[in-house]
Amino acid sequence: MATTKRKAVKSTTKNSQSIIDVSYSEIQKKAYELYEKEGRIDGNDLGDWFTAEEMLLKK
């Protein structure tokens, strides 16, 4: 059975702290969606990854 790596990120809100849990595979899927949306242009994989991570953490 494959295991999924999870990344716990602390996010502070106005009145409390919460933990946002985003998995590697969720970021990977979103980054690939961005890659396809941008026309499958090579060379921006890291940018797509960071954008995907940011988008998922803001949810």
Tokens 């921006």 belong to residue: 44
In 1-59, the DSSP E strands lie at 6-12, 17-23
Nearest alpha-carbon partner for 25 in 3, 42, 9: 3
> For 2-53, how does the pLDDT look when each residue is reduced to its tens digit (9 = 90+)?
555 555 555 444 444 455 678 999 999 999 999 999 999 999 999 999 999 9
Q: What is the dihedral of CA 36, 22, 56, 53, to 10 degrees?
A: -60
